[in-house]
Each structure stands twice: as C-alpha cells, then as structure tokens.
Amino acid sequence: MVYGIGHAARYYFGKPTSALTVRECAFLASMLPGPKVYNPYRKMDRVMRRSDRILRRMVAARLISREEYDAAMAEIPNLEGIARKVEKALETPPPEEAPGGIPVIEPSPPAVSPEPGSEEPPAPVIPDTE
C-alpha cells in the first residue's frame, strides 16, 4: 500500500517529488480518487486517460503552458518502481515443493509457555446468560 505523494513518487518512479515531471505529477494525481479503480498494475490505460484529462484541465486553467502540456503529452511515464517490483518478484525463488507439486509448509514454532513462578493472567469471566 502506498501512502502519500512522496512515497508514491519513490514507489512508482524511484525519485523524490521534487524531481517529478509534469506528466508524472498528473499520473500520480490521476490515482487519488480511487487507488483500486486507477491501479496502474491492472488498469494502466485508465490511469493514462485520466492523467491526460488532468493535463488538459491544467493547461486550460493556465497552470502549465502549452509547451509544458505538449511535452507532458509526448512523455510516457517511466514506471521504474513497477519494473523494480517485477524484477524483485522474479528474483525471489518460488516456495519449495514436495513431489507431486504440493507446497512444503514449514511448521510454526511451538507456543512459549509462561516461566515457572510467573503469574498467568486470569481467565476471562463469561457472564451467566440464564
């Protein structure tokens, strides 16, 4: 889960917010209304259409110049963070499998019992309902 613009800039683009381009800023802004609906892993085309719309509104409101708009529209966001995440997933070996394709599940460590002489918390009291 990504929290905040600074974290999103590092996660998706591998750089601080101060180094983002206008296109990258619009890309991040496009995900704000609904990170599940505008998820670049699953709906990149939807995120790009929304970021295009944001850029059109920015130029119409004169927040960016026409030259900045044209440059942003020509840019394809370099999602370095997504590429790193995929590479990391590919580097991680799959869980060991037993013969027959059944995953090997490691047993969990035994529960630690309280040390002798220490007081255990009292058992919860369940009220009588009768």
> What residues make up the domain containing 23?
5-91
The residue behind tokens 């529960």 is 111
| Residue 19 domain-assigned (yes or no) | yes
| Residue 125 domain-assigned (yes or no) | no
pLDDT in tens, 36-67: 777 777 777 888 899 999 999 999 999 999 99
Residue 48 belongs to domain with CATH number = 1.10.3810.10
| Residue 25 domain-assigned (yes or no) | yes
pLDDT in tens, 84-111: 666 666 666 665 655 566 665 666 666 5
Residues 6+ apart with CB under 8 A from 17: 5, 6, 9
Global confidence as pTM: 0.59
Number of domains in the chain: 1
| Residue 102 domain-assigned (yes or no) | no
| SS3 (DSSP) at 98 | strand
| Residue 107 domain-assigned (yes or no) | no
Of 49 and 122, the structure prediction assigns the larger pLDDT to 49
| Residue 10 domain-assigned (yes or no) | yes
| Residue 129 domain-assigned (yes or no) | no
Quick check: 14 and 78 in contact, CB under 8 A? no
